[in-house]
Each structure stands twice: as C-alpha cells, then as structure tokens.
Amino acid sequence: MGEQSNFFYAVPQGRHDMLVTPDRDELARQEFVRGFKAYIQSGIVPGVHATYHNEVKPAFEKREGRSPRDRHEIRKLMVEHPLFRTYASMQRVSQELLWDTVLDSVERELPALVARTANRNSLGTLTLDPSLPLPKYAVGVDIHCMPGGYGGEGGPGDVVAGALYDRGVYLYALGMMGPMNDDIGGSAAKFVRDRYPDFKPKRILDLGCTVGHSTLPFVDAFPEAEVHAIDIGPSLLRYAHARAESLGKRVHFSQQDAANTRFPDGHFDLIASSILFHETSGKALPAILRECHRLLAPGGMAVHGDLPPFWAMDEFNQFMLDCETYYNNEPYWGAMREVDQVKESVKAGFAAEHVEFCMAPSAYRSSAGHEREFQAGEFAPGNAWQVLVTRKQ
C-alpha cells in the first residue's frame, strides 16, 4: 500500500486578497492533510480495487454462480471487508481534518478578512436577500462535511463559509482544478467558445456559484458580456464578491435560489453551473432545468458541468463514487447520477435534438500537461469534464 504519490503535482494555490494565509504550523497541517488524501488515492485505492476484483468478486461468483448485480450489492460485500473499512474511515478522517486545519487559518484571520470585504473598488455588485428561504437540500446537513455548510451565517459580515470553501476545495482537489480552482468553469467556457465560435452572449448567469471559482473564467472568455452569479449562502457571496473585485473581474453576485430566481424571462444567453447538480435534490434538479428554460433567450444555451453519470462507468467504480453519499454528507451524490438528465431537460421544455452530453476537455490539465486516467474514489475525473448542453431555439 505504500506506492509514492508522485503523480499528484501540487501547484500552489493562486493568491488574491481574500485567500487565507496559513501560518507555518497551519500550512504544515494543510500540506499534511493534502498529502494524506493523495496517499489514500495512490496508496490505498488500488488495494481496494484489487481486493474487490481478486478476492471479493471471485468468492461471490463461486458461491452464487453469478456476478454482483449492481453497486448496492457490491456495497453489501465490501462493507464487511477490513481493508475497505479502513479506506472509508481514512477518507472520512482526512475530510474532517482538512476542514479543521483550514478553520484554524480562517478563525485566526477572520477580523482581517471581514475588513478586507469593505471599501473596495466596485466593478461588480453584491445583492443579499436575508428573506430568501434556504433550500433544505443545501442546509439539511453540512455538505461534504464542511462545518457550518453552504448557508452558514455566523454574524454580521461573516465570510467564514467562503474562506473555508476556497482553501478547502483547493486541498480537496489536490490542486487538480488548477491554482484558481476554476477548471470546470474554465473548461466549460472554452468548450462553448471552441464549439460555437459565432456565439456572442450578452448576458451570462452562473448558478450555485459559491465563491465564484467557475464564474470568473466566463468573464475572461466573454469580455463583452454582463456576468451574473447566484448562490443561496450570504457568507459565500460576500467572499465571492470581494474575491472577484480583488482579481479585477466584474461580476454581479446575488443571493437567489437557482430553482426560482427573480430574473425576467429570456434574460440570459448563456447559463452555466459547475458541480451544482449533485448537491441539489430529486425535486430541485428538474426545477432548475425548468428555470434555465425560462431564463434563456431564444438561441441561448445552458452548460452544466458535473461528475460523470453512473452509466458512464462500471459497477465497482459506481460503488466507489457512491461512498460520498454515505460517508461524506453528499445526500444526492448517488441518486443524481441515476437521473436521466436528457429526459429531464426535455421535460423542462428543451427540444430533444438540442440536448446532449459532451466532454469538455480540461482547460487546465491539457495546458499544463497533467493528463491522466480517471480513478474512482478521487475527485478530478481525468482529462475532461462531462457537460450537459441544452439549447433553446
């Protein structure tokens, strides 16, 4: 289990005024936790794969005269195995330690971070709506075990959720989403430009933007467009606004529910979302697709980037990915991957011939030469992001 994790190239996180500056002990903890996560991937995950394919599956086949039917049956077999238990426990522990180490930096720097959100040049805007009901799927548990969750609001001017998410996601993704954590948005924006060179969106909306990681690439890709971004968390949005301003990007952030926004019909030419769908719910996902149809102008399109649906991988990889549902407070992670998003898009009003899944090549990894195969149990799925593209005629 001790293979070196040398293929995890740890590019330093890109700086901006809102990013926490860990002190030397905090940095050592954060680097250790990132290393621990990388070790689980390179040192333990291959052992879990081998255990299933060489031991658990053949034993089951000998006993039952058939292969395990689906990820649920594989799960029943694997949860009994000590190596899997250790793997799953270590994943959980690494996730808890990750947030805890970042919280140390955030808590220490909090007054300065709050101060830095004030008095800046205003390229874009920030509009909060304290009366907005927070959707239960987003706040019923702390998603991916981030203490306080997306909706967290600990007091006036709070930016904890944003600061925690920004640094935490970088460590979680092992730097594989690039120094600005923006590879999904960057890849989706590049995909739209490459595939539709004549498409010139006037207004763009990013749904579930969190701290704006994936929003900003759209500002760069479409400099003529007016870019809006929404989320439900006030702390996230305060942070997102200050982060965008510090990076010199003009974005209009507002606190809104993606399933029911306040924008008028046909207001946008391009709508994007990045790793949003798997953190919604069985009711919210179709509602968001309907809202996209309402918000798009004729000729407009929506591009939703998320991790691959279950049909795109074998049952064992499905089972490994589904661990997030059970062990990482990702209640919709597994169920979402079974949803027929094409069918739901058609039900939402899009014509079947204008709905498709495409692979958007990773903008960061192809440029940086970090190409590699997807391995279940890890976050960054290889060299391309799966995007759902829906166009309105």
Task: Figure out which of the listed residues 41, 94, 210, 341 binds another protein, where binding follows CB under 8 A.
Answer: 94
Residue of 216, 207, 228 lying closest to 273 (CA atoms): 207
- Is residue 140 a contact point for another protein (CB under 8 A)? yes
Who's near 233: CB < 8 A, 6+ residues apart?
Answer: 134, 138, 150, 151, 152, 153, 161, 162, 210, 255
The answer to whether residues 143 and 165 touch, using CB atoms and an 8 Å cutoff, is: no
Cβ(281)–Cβ(337) below 8 Å: no
Q: Measured from the CB atom, is 36 or 263 closer to another protein?
A: 36
- Are 256 and 129 in contact, with CB atoms under 8 Å apart? yes
Structure-block tokens of residue 238: 């305060």
CB closer to another protein, 46 vs 147 = 147
Helix, strand, coil shares, percent, the chain, to 5: 50, 15, 40
Q: Please select the residue that binds another protein; options are 72, 85, 193, 262, rule is CB under 8 A.
A: 85
Which span (48-56, 116-124, 199-207, 279-287) binds another protein, by CB under 8 A? Answer: 279-287
**Both tokens of residue 171?**
């460590």
**Could you tell me if 289 and 344 are in contact, meaning their C-beta atoms sit under 8 angstroms apart?**
yes
Contact status: 81 vs another protein (CB under 8 A): no
Number of residues that bind another protein (CB under 8 A): 55
Beta carbon of residue 186, minimum distance to another protein (angstroms, whole number): 29
Distance CA(169)–CA(225), nearest Å, equals 28
Residues 21-60 within binding reach of another protein (CB under 8 A): 24-25, 28-29, 31-33, 36
Instruction: For another protein, give the closer residue by CB, 89 or 122.
Output: 89
Segment interacting with another protein, rule: CB under 8 A, options 52-60, 196-204, 325-333, 347-355: 325-333
Choice from 14, 154, 248, 299 touching another protein (CB under 8 A) = 154
Binding site for another protein (CB under 8 A): 24-25, 28-29, 31-33, 36, 85-86, 88-90, 92-94, 96-97, 99-101, 103, 106-108, 110-111, 114, 136-137, 140-142, 145-149, 152, 154-158, 160, 281-283, 325-327, 329, 331-332, 335
